[in-house]
């Protein structure tokens, strides 16, 4: 049977297919993107998140709080991530020079030496993912994804307990 919008009843409308279940389109793209980047980074013994921390720290984002926000993780996740990087000898944590309650991340010489090999995999995978897209396509896609992220964050903030208030 076909609904009024000519969508077969047993098939979810396109907007729903973006967000429903583990097989959603957005989830699939994110999973494949991460898998591809991880494969390129594997020879360097770092994950995509670990590489991102190293690259961001090299750009001056040395506060764990800054990194947590940028990577979309929580404090506990960031602590584990930094523990792993420190165990690999790629970073050290130091006391903040002016705020005794804070830490800063510093790259070790080994971490510095790894930097030139970390950015290319992100560019290679991004280029492959966006192959056939025009600059205008990429700009539109970026704008739509940013709007979706903003909408979701506003939706979460509007809920009384910080969660979705629907069924």
Tens of pLDDT, residue by residue over 88-144, are 999 999 888 888 788 889 999 999 999 999 999 999 999 999 999 999 999 999 999
Residue 104, strand partner residues: 94
Output the CA–CA distances (angstroms, integers) from residue 26 to 30, 47, 109, 130, 147, in the order listed. Answer: 6, 21, 38, 15, 14
Domain ranges of the chain: 43-125
Unique residue bearing structure tokens 């279940």: 21
- Residue range 43-125 in CATH 1.10.10.10: yes
C-alpha to C-alpha distance for 16 and 65, rounded to whole angstroms: 34
C-alpha to C-alpha distance for 128 and 45, rounded to whole angstroms: 22
Q: Strands 91-95, 103-107: parallel, antiparallel or unpaired by DSSP?
A: antiparallel
Output the CA–CA distances (angstroms, integers) from residue 1 to 8, 10, 17, 129, 136, in the order listed. Answer: 6, 8, 19, 36, 38
What was the pLDDT predicted at 147?
94
**More confidently predicted of 73 and 50:** 50
Tens of pLDDT, residue by residue over 11-64, are 656 566 566 655 588 888 989 999 999 999 999 999 999 999 999 999 988 888
What was the pLDDT predicted at 167?
44
Its pTM stands at 0.75
- Token reading at 128: 């492959």
């Amino acid at each position: 049977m076909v609904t009024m919008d000519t969508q077969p009843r047993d098939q979810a409308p396109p907007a729903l297919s973006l967000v429903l279940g583990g097989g959603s389109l957005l989830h699939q793209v994110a999973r494949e993107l991460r898998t591809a980047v991880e494969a390129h980074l594997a020879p360097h013994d770092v994950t995509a998140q670990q590489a991102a921390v190293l690259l961001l720290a090299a750009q001056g984002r040395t506060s764990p709080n800054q990194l947590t926000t940028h990577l979309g993780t929580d404090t506990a996740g960031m602590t584990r991530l930094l523990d792993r990087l420190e165990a690999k000898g790629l970073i050290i944590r130091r006391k903040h020079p002016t705020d005794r309650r804070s830490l800063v991340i510093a790259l070790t010489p080994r971490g510095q030496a790894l930097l030139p090999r970390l950015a290319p995999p992100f560019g290679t995978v991004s280029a492959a993912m966006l192959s056939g897209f025009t600059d205008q396509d990429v700009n539109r896609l970026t704008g739509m994804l940013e709007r979706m992220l903003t909408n979701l964050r506003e939706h979460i903030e509007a809920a009384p307990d910080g969660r979705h208030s629907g069924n």
